[in-house]
Amino acid sequence: MTAASHSPVGPGGARTSLWLLTSLAVLWTAYFVQPIAVPFVFAVLLKFLLSPAVRAFRRRGVPIAITSLLLVVGGVVGCVAVVAVVAPAAAHWTQELPERLHRLEGKALALSQPVAAITDVTTRVGEKVDDLAAAASADSKPSEAPTVVRIEQPTWFATAFGALQRLAIELFLTVGMLFLLLLGDGMVLAKLQAGGAANAPRWLDALSAIERRMGLYVRSLLLVQTCLGITFGLFCWAWGMPSPWLWGAVAAIGNAIPFVGPLAVTALLSLVAVTTFPATGIAVVVPLAYVALHLVESTLATPCLLGRWLSLSPVAIFVTLTVMGFVWGVAGLVLAVPLLVVVRITSDYVPAMQPLQILLDGRVASIAGAEAIRLPARTSPPVLPTLPSGVRT
């Protein structure tokens, strides 16, 4: 009997363990490099969005450096304009929401008076018991001066200044990385093409398809969420909601986060509407309108733009949101689904990721047996070969 027969772990188990350890190492590293990783991921997604414009201007003879600079500066100016419009209303509602929540608690107090009376009696009985216990303890032990512990908390100005400083650094890194990525657009593909390897055309087709599909996803996501935000903002303006464009922006951003975002936006809109309109029947229309727009977006608009090739498993989305939210916080919740889409698209072209493709695919296999879920034959992706050692990317 050979030594290999005594091995408790077979080749499949060793491979699974290696993938598990690699995933944990990647997540552990991502947790500590968040200030650099988050801007880089945002820059890559924006690069997929802006690459077609860079190539279109390059075909017309415009230098790529000028096009990249204009796109980046234009994007920054647009973001500053949006923030300038939304920021005053956001600052106002930051102070207004606690007061409205207190007002809502006052309205609910009338419905909870019996429970409050029972709670009050229970509290008084507990206080009497505590007083008797304290008196007995004082008789048995000598009195000691109480120790006062004070915990110094940073002021709100220091906290806000630190948050703004971190945000400014991350924005600077995002803009810088985006400009460099646009400036080097097509460099990897050009190197593969110049290498002259026999397998280079397949690599070119595969990488071009991945970039094209990711660009389609990013542009579709931005278009759908922008239209949803504008539509809901117009509805809030027509319905008489205060700060309608703020709620349009909140709806667009929250709707991009599956599960968590729509629930949070619905709860926030319910609070604002109930404390704004005197009649409950008028107030509930606002969150219901957002829920209706969300259903239209998730069941009609996005599937029509992206088709069925990007159907993701709800379990995979939930797990990715949980993990990325823990690792990167709010930024992780925003980037969770785009990163999952990157993995899903890449799995169509890398043979080693075929099992992962089946796990991430949200479509139900109608064919009996353990057949792999694939794209239609007319859009089937090429299989990536192994490049020769002499070709560098």
Lowest mean pLDDT among 127-136, 142-151, 256-265: 142-151
Residues 6+ apart with CB under 8 A from 311: 361, 362, 363
Lowest mean pLDDT among 73-77, 151-155, 161-165: 151-155
The whole-angstrom distance between residue 293's C-alpha and the CA centroid of its chain comes to: 19
Instruction: Enter the DSSP assignment of 259.
Output: T
Query: Helices 34-59 and 330-347: crossing angle, nearest 10°?
Result: 60
Domain extents for the chain? 29-105+160-185, 212-306, 308-364
Residues 6+ apart with CB under 8 A from 37: 30, 328
pLDDT one-digit tens code per residue, 196-241 = 666 667 777 777 777 888 888 888 888 899 999 999 999 999 998 8
Q: Is residue 203 within 8 Å of 384, Cβ to Cβ?
A: yes
- Size (the chain), residues: 393
**Structural Rg of the chain based on CA atoms:** 28
Compute the distance between CA of residue 298 and CA of residue 301 in angstroms, rounded to an integer.
Answer: 7
> 345-358 burial, b for 16+ CB within 10 Å, e for fewer?
bbbbbbeeeeebbb
Percentage of the residues of the chain whose pLDDT score is greater than 90: 11
Closest Cα partner for 284 from 272, 295, 273, 268?
A: 273
Compute the distance between CA of residue 375 and CA of residue 365 in angstroms, rounded to an integer.
Answer: 12
- Token representation of residue 360: 């991430």
Compute the distance between CA of residue 245 and CA of residue 238 in angstroms, rounded to an integer.
Answer: 11
Query: Span 271-291, mean pLDDT?
Result: 89
107: pLDDT confidence band, cut at 50, 70 and 90?
A: low
Compute the distance between CA of residue 218 and CA of residue 251 in angstroms, rounded to an integer.
Answer: 18
Sign of the CA dihedral with 179 first, then 251, 310, and 52 last? negative
Q: Is residue 51 within 8 Å of 216, Cβ to Cβ?
A: no
Count CA atoms closer than 13 A to 391's CA, side-chain side: 19
Compute the distance between CA of residue 184 and CA of residue 15 in angstroms, rounded to an integer.
Answer: 36
Closest Cα partner for 259 from 293, 294, 286?
A: 294
pLDDT one-digit tens code per residue, 34-76 = 888 889 988 988 888 888 888 888 888 888 889 889 999 998 8
361: pLDDT confidence band, cut at 50, 70 and 90?
A: confident
Closest Cα partner for 302 from 212, 225, 215, 210?
A: 225
Lookup result for tokens 């990317």: 393
Instruction: Give the pLDDT confidence score for residue 279 in this predicted structure.
Output: 84
Task: Annotate 297-325 with DSSP letters as a single string.
Answer: IIIIIHHHHH-GGG-B-HHHHHHHHHHHH
